[in-house]
Amino acid sequence: MPHHSWRLVLVLAGAAAATGGAAAASDGAPAVDPAPRKVDGARGCVETIRFGVVDGIAPLSVAPATAWLDDAPDLCFAWYRQPSGPVALEKISNGDLDFATMGSVPFTTAIERGAPVSAIGILAIQLSAEGLATRYGLQEPRSLRGSTIATVRGSTSHYMFEAFLLETGIDPRDVTLVFAAPKEITRLWDAGAIDGAACWTPTLDHVLATPHGATGTPALVVYDAETLRRWGYRTGVLLVARDDFVARLPDVAQRVVERVVRAAYAYNTNPNSFDWTAGRYADVVGRSFWLELGNETTFSRAAVAEILTRNTWPGILEQMGFRGTMGAAILRRQAAFLFAQKDLAETPYEDAAPYLDRIDISFLSEARLLQYETIPLDADPDPVPDFVPYAVRAQMPVPGEGCESFTVLDDENATFDDGSTGEHAYARNANCVWALRAPATGCVALDVPFLSSEGVRDRVEVFSATGDLRATFFGRRGGHPTTVGCVVADAPPPGVAAALVGGAAPDIEGVGLYVRWSTDDEDELAMGAIEPVGFRATARAIEPQERICGPGRGGALCDAPYCVGVVEVTGEGGVIKTQVADDAYQPNSRCAWRIPARGGRVVLDVARLGLERVRDVVTIYDGAAATPGFGALAQPVPFPVFELLRRKYRMSGTHAPTVPLVVDNDVFVTFESDGIANRPRDGGPAGLEIRWRRDAAESTLCPEVASCGRNGRCEEGVCVCDTGYYGETCAFDTCVGAAPWRVAPSGRIVSNAGADYSPGQFCGWPLNIPGREGESIAGIRLRFDRFDIEAPEGQATTTDRAVVFYSVGPQQGSVLCIFRRVMSQQGQTSAGAAVDPATDETKFTFDDGDTLEVLLPEPAAAGANVQLMLGFETDANNHRPFSGFDVTYGVAFDGPAFCDERWPCAEGEVCEDDRCVDEKPRKSKHSRSRRQLRRMKRGVIVAMIVFACVIGLAFCVFGGIYGARVVRTKDELETERVRVVRDQVDSARQWVEDFQAPFCVVAADTFIALGALRPHEALRDGPRDADDDECDKQHTRLEFYDSVDDVERARRGGAVFVFLSHQWLGHAHPDPAGIHYKAMCRALQAVAEDAGVALSAVRAWVDVSSIPQANQATQSLAVASLPTFASCVDYFIVVAPDTEHVTTGCGCDAATYRKRAWCRAEVVACWARRGADRMFVATNRGLRPLFVDTGDGVDTYLEECLEVFAGDLTCCRLQHPDGEPCDKEALVPPFLGLIAELYRDRKQRPEAWEMVSDRVDELFPRTFSYESGGAATTLPLFGDLVEAVTRLVDSESAGDAPPDLVLRGLAPGTTGQRHVAAKAHRGGARSESGRRLASTPTSTTAGPPGRAPALALLRTVSAAHRRAGAASQRASSSELSFNDSSGMATGERTTGTARPGGGVGLAPGTARPGG
């Protein structure tokens, strides 16, 4: 496979058949004890290097089966299969791996979270090894709506799928996304539970090769990584190493990088050789790949060769090029995606430095590496050996090996293990429990001298006799502390053994400790220098001892410099710490401290809080009982209302509370961390330090222990907080846990008084609604006076929600209703939504102030109280501040409505005894006789009749006068509107007949001699400074053509005109690296050869050289003339080689070119006048025809380009700052003129008119949506001008009706001339065509000699508009609003009362927001 340009690899595209993750670095990683390394005397391995490989094939795959990297005297490599990048990221972060391959998206996660790793190389750029495959019938993007797609969360596949939805306009909420591991994805596909999968090889191959489990239909590819790369979404697979390993063994890292480069070079230079297609390299690569999949015997060398072609393998320069601003921009874009998907809690970095710091190219930049890249694999030094027996095997479980589900050990010195033997892997899905009886001493000590497991997923847990978690051991780290357990004096709680086993198990007397070994269904399938795995533990008798560890130390013997398990805290006060050192706490920590109140209260001062935000948390519970995850008996339940009510405080991040935290009960403090980064992202001391003390029960909270501050008041020794403030001392302006019980039929709840609520939080407000004798409670009424929580927008997801729980037991509840914020279908506004918890479907939406009623499954018993809870769950981040919710609640009885000051009765009802009843009718105090009333009625009727007659006569007189005036006004308005339409049509037809600015070209030989694209002024004026180079002095000529006739005369003289159309590759320069310039030179030489003329006879038009760059007015006129310029040339060439934009990092090629509206306009203008015979595209593969007939006479490229007004425009993307006109308006006059020519010549060129005639309304829309300053307005674009053109052409050819007569009833469109004038009189603008407009003073410049200047035409049309506007004002004074016959708004708004069928309308120009 040939090398790709190193500039291409700067974008970090796809990967070595693997997706997944990576991680970034932070200073001072947690101290990790070295794991037990294998010592192999026969092979001489003193240390084994652990290399994690995500599923896939790469040229480096020659190494595992040949031990190619094991050439150091005492180092060997073990290769561990990883299911995905996010999993590999966690393992390398916590020290279980030394190297890992992973995708760029998880690597971005590592950077943003501060993991202690760096990328030292790029393995591959993916092409078709990753993508989306769906069952048959779902290949069109729109068909994905309502489908279920599986992917790996946080992987490059996940990123590409969300990007695909964004680019194709699919709302992510219309697709159900299932997150699963690759193995689970294959199961779901085989079962028919999903419609498709966004994944990579080999999971992608399985989906494509296996019929869908439900429909039996095959799968097809919707997109692959190469497609998304061309759309600007770059991903890739990186070689990642732990920072501490690289610092300790830099020579090993250098050797690994050398082998990566050498293997990639060997494949790239001859991918079709026998060695790579059917020989020794295909053999050893195949053995490695199929061993990864657990198949030791079956593989196909042909399949290996095919899989290798699905990626490109970058060399040294390509890899080094990634460390630059473009690489940082790619990673930053992926970080924004991760933040939107809630995989990051912190706002992504804005600077490039944090990204570049994690890309280490020092090993790639070694001088000798360039020579090393050219050495064949079978040559010295270090040739690739043949496969070796010890390496060609996979470490897999052996059937029958494993452990019993429950074992009782009575020996004073007992040894037990996981049941695997030799180098076999341990059993999957194991759950084995050992009950260790205490010997005569009463206590037993547990030591774990050997443990090697697959991270935290496979672990050893130690529990006390009462079920408390004492320790958790996992991974490949050594130095596990001793755990001690003693027989409890009182009888232990029953059911501990059964809870650990997960089934029936007897309660055993005299147990000191329980040990549980649990594994998942994944297996790393190690290869190479296989290490023993599993665990071995010993139990021994020990004397009882009281040992109080110092702050930050754990373990029964205080030998661990970090916290371990649940600790019983003693004394009257002390310090709680997560670790001794301040640099980092342990990964995957589960620590807890139980502090007894002894009848008083516990006061906690948080001296230090330095945790990774949201991911690592400390929680303070009310009560001594262990919570789920910290006790065998604390099993999770579906809706743990009881546990939620115990949660008093939940803290994360670095902002420690400045006031004491007080709990009037025993306290259970928990600390949990994950396995990636164990420190705050932005530095500072890490970990938790709490100073606690116990206060006597006689003391009052306020004012003795603490103050209530400014946000509460002290009542009877307790702080009563203001609305929206929380905590025992009212110190928090957002909810932090469970609030006290509220016993009242109504009340008010405010989530937060601050500007934003906390992410990663769960708050609860328990409500005890009192019943009433003889009445049943049916539910609760809610009125959200403010409901401002995060709603999903674009790619941003959210799980923020308010939940109403209903208590169904002492510890459980059921969910009655869920409230979320949802976006409208247009994505412009959001509203509250009530969601059915069973189906997750929206029942209805509501606005602030609406009253909602949440009903119980059935009314409560008469007179019974009802316990409810309003919960508030938030996710990892808020993309902007949200003010939360302010809700008023009230009981809903199964009968008359409840009422109080918060819940007034409806009109016609009054509140009596807290119930709404009908208002009783009032009797009149001054009654009159029926006779008097009848007399008064008759008098009133007579007076009304007389009054009506007088008024009617007046209206008849006035109506006649007014009607005549209305008719006259309508005639005047219609005349003015016809005049405006005629002016617009005439000016458009004149627009394309000649240039609006000079047509500037440069001779092809001069252009080629320039050496680069030069600006217009440099070619026009020549060198201005003495030090200008010789090229400028010799070649500084531009040729000017003032009219189309001038061009025709030159053409007759032998000149050949070429229009070079391209997309700019930078904001400051159109072609910074000269890529387009070189393609242009080749294209001009091809044109000269095709036309049979010398280069000097070829005239080239190219934007930056032919359009003025300094004078704003002349530049604007030239830009507006682009369609006319493009339509008068002999050759039209699209210059679009595959490259990328140097500023944005997005890909630029033929596909992105035709997405731009101005590019489409140039193509269509040339086609409309000159046909498609001499229209070409210049790519990396040379010059080829622009349009290709598909067999039915229709070219999809042309069909797409015809949609000019649906193309991308920068002005629309920027939402027209300062109300500037839209570029679509500038395109109306030339295209209207082209339409007139196509219609006029429809008999000579019927195929051209047929292409547009059936799509007129689609291609030339009547209106368009104009957005500026966040407001959207519908404005006229073509209006009825297309119909006006066809009517005028028909009228002129027939000569049977005056032009003004055929235009009656037609609405004008926008005024493109206004667009040009606005652009010409504003400095610093940027045209959508990509041509830079300099910020210089403007001047009004006339057009070419011999014809009316363009700005004079503007004045003519503007005068007509002013006359129409005056007439419109006269009409508005008569209280009439005029609309056109089609009902479309056609211009400035008029005041007054609209009447049905109200006449004709007037559209003098385009109205913009603000007038």
How far is it, in rounded angstroms, from Cα 602 to Cα 694? 5
Q: What is the pLDDT of residue 1360?
A: 33
- The whole-number pLDDT of residue 1028 equals 46
What's the per-residue H, E or C state across 209-232?
HCCCCCCCCCEEEEEEHHHHHHCC
H or E segment to which residue 890 belongs: strand 884-893
How do residues 652-668 score in pLDDT, each as one tens digit? 999 999 888 999 899 99
Place of tokens 């920072």: 243
SS3 per residue for 1371-1401? HHHCCECCCCCCCCCCCCCCCCECCCCCCCC
Instruction: Please calculate the CA angle 686-688-694 and round it to the nearest 5 degrees.
Output: 160
At residue 434, the pLDDT reads 97
**Which tokens go with 1150?**
């033929």
Identify whether the C-beta of residue 1099 lies closer than 8 Å to the C-beta of residue 970. Answer: no
Cα-based torsion angle of the residue sequence 127, 132, 133, 138 in order, rounded to the nearest 10 degrees: -130
* Structure tokens that stand for 1106 in this block: 């032919």
- Integer-rounded Cα Rg, in Å, for the chain is 39
Nearest to 868 by CA among 749, 780, 746, 761: 780
Q: Does 892 have pLDDT greater than 60?
A: yes
Query: What one-character DSSP code corresponds to residue 141?
Result: G
Determine the pLDDT at residue 180: 95
CA 1401, 1402, 1405 angle in degrees (round to 5)? 145
For residue 1171, pLDDT beyond 90: no
Higher pLDDT among residues 389 and 1046, named by residue: 1046
pTM for this predicted structure: 0.67
Distance CA 463, CA 512 (A): 9
Q: Quick one: average pLDDT of 1345-1368?
A: 31
CA distances from 809 to 513, 663, 1203 (A): 32, 25, 63
Residue 1394 has pLDDT above 80, yes or no: no
Number of Cβ atoms within 10 Å of the Cβ of 1285 = 26
CA distances from 661 to 624, 776, 871, 971, 1023 (A): 16, 40, 22, 80, 76
**Cβ atoms < 10 Å from Cβ of 923:** 6
Q: Provide the pLDDT for residue 22.
A: 29
* Lowest-confidence region among 538-542, 708-712, 746-750, 1341-1345: 1341-1345
Q: Are strands 1039-1041 and 99-103 parallel, antiparallel or unpaired?
A: unpaired
Mean pLDDT confidence for 1238-1262: 85
pLDDT band at 642 (very low <50, low <70, confident <90, very high): low
pLDDT band for position 210 (cuts 50, 70, 90):
very high
Q: Name the pLDDT band for 842 (thresholds 50, 70, 90).
A: confident
pLDDT at 1386: 29
Give the CA distances from residue 831 to residues 820, 835, 882, in Å, rounded to whole numbers and listed in that order. Answer: 8, 12, 14
Q: What is the pLDDT of residues 796-835, one digit of tens each?
A: 788 899 988 887 655 567 888 999 998 876 666 788 999 9
pLDDT on residue 811: 53
Question: d(Cα 1204, Cα 1196) in Å, to the nearest integer?
Answer: 14
Tell whether the model's pLDDT for residue 157 goes beyond 90.
Answer: yes
Confidence category of residue 1097, pLDDT binned at 50, 70, 90 = very high
Q: How far apart are alpha carbons 270 and 136 in whole angstroms?
A: 37
Give pLDDT tens digits for 390-427.
666 677 788 888 999 999 998 888 999 999 988 889 99
Give the single-character DSSP code of 197: E
The residues facing 590 across adjacent strands are 672
**In this predicted structure, what is the pLDDT of residue 396?**
78
Q: In whole angstroms, how far apart are CA 292 and each of 54, 65, 414, 1223, 1382?
A: 9, 11, 36, 56, 68
pLDDT above 50: residue 30: no
| Between residues 608 and 22, the one the model is more confident about | 608
Q: Distance between CA atoms of 373 and 365, rounded to whole angstroms?
A: 12
The pLDDT confidence band at residue 322, using thresholds 50, 70 and 90, is confident
Residue 742 DSSP label: B
Task: State how far the Cα of 891 lies from the Cα of 747, in Å rounded to an integer.
Answer: 10
pLDDT at 704 over 70: yes
564-617 pLDDT, tens digit each:
999 999 889 999 999 999 889 999 999 999 999 998 899 999 999 999 999 999
Main-chain phi, psi angles of 124, to 5 degrees: -160, 160
Tokens of 545: 């001892």
Predicted local confidence at residue 1380, as pLDDT: 32
Residue 1298, exposed/middle/buried by CB under 10 A (0-12, 13-18, 19+)?
exposed
Distance separating alpha carbons of residues 261 and 325, to the nearest angstrom: 23
Predicted confidence (pLDDT) at residue 1357 exceeds the cutoff of 50: no
Residue range 20-27: mean pLDDT, rounded: 31
Mean pLDDT (whole number) for 338-345:
92
Banded model confidence at residue 171, pLDDT cuts 50, 70, 90: confident
Report the distance separating Cα 677 and Cα 90, nearest Å. Answer: 9
Could you write out the DSSP letters of every residue in 798-860? Answer: ---EEEEEEE-SSS-EEEEEEEEEEE-TTSS-EEEEEE-TTT--EEEEE-TT-EEEEE-SSPP
Which residue has tokens 């059993």?
427
| pLDDT at residue 828, as a whole number | 65
Are 262 and 377 contacting, i.e. CB atoms less than 8 angstroms apart? Answer: yes
What gap in Å lies between CA 819 and CA 826, rounded to an integer?
Answer: 21
Secondary structure (3-state) at 1022 = coil
* Helix 325-340 with 104-113: angle, nearest 10 deg: 80
- C-alpha pair distances (Å), 503 with each of 132, 178, 327, 498, 986: 41, 30, 53, 5, 88
pLDDT of 1341 above 70: no
* Alpha-carbon distance values, 68 to 64, 252, 275, 385 (Å): 7, 13, 16, 7
Instruction: Return all residues near 1145 (Cβ < 8 A) that are at least 6 apart.
Output: 10, 11, 232, 234, 326, 329, 330, 333
What pLDDT, in 10s, does the model give residues 910-941?
999 899 998 876 544 444 466 667 677 777 88
Distance CA 54, CA 123 (A): 12
Confidence of residue 1144 (pLDDT cuts 50, 70, 90): confident
DSSP state of 705: I
Query: What is the distance, to the nearest Å, from the Cα of residue 182 to the centroid of all Cα atoms in its chain?
Result: 21
**DSSP per-residue codes, 406-467:** EEEE--SEEEEE-S--TTPBPPTT-EEEEEEE--TTSEEEEEEEEEE-SGGGSEEEEEETTS
Q: How many CB atoms lie within 10 A of CB 216?
A: 10
Half-sphere exposure of 208 (CA within 13 A, CB side): 19
Q: Which residues are paired to 1185 by β-bridges? A: 1176
Nearest to 201, CA basis, from 152, 105, 130:
130
Q: Are 540 and 483 in contact (CB under 8 A)?
A: no
Full 3-state SS string of 1241-1298:
CCCCCHHHHHHHHCCHHHHCCCEEEEEECCEEEEEECCCCHHHHHHHHHHHHHHCCCC
CA distances to 179, 653, 674, 841 from 800, in Å = 19, 19, 22, 16
Listed range (155-164, 210-219, 1278-1287) with the worst mean pLDDT: 1278-1287
**Contact 764/782 with Cβ under 8 angstroms?**
no
Q: How many helices (H) and strands (E) does the chain have?
A: 38, 55
The helix/strand/coil state of 786 is strand
Which has the closest alpha carbon to 267: 16, 11, 527, 20? 16
pLDDT of residue 295 exceeding 50, the answer is yes
Mean of all residue pLDDT scores within the chain: 81
User: What b/e string do you get for 101-132 counting C-beta neighbours within 10 Å, with b at 16 or more?
Assistant: bbbbbbbbbbbbbbbbbbbbbbbbbbbbbbbb
Q: What residues are paired with 1230 via a beta bridge? A: none
The full length of the chain comes to 1411
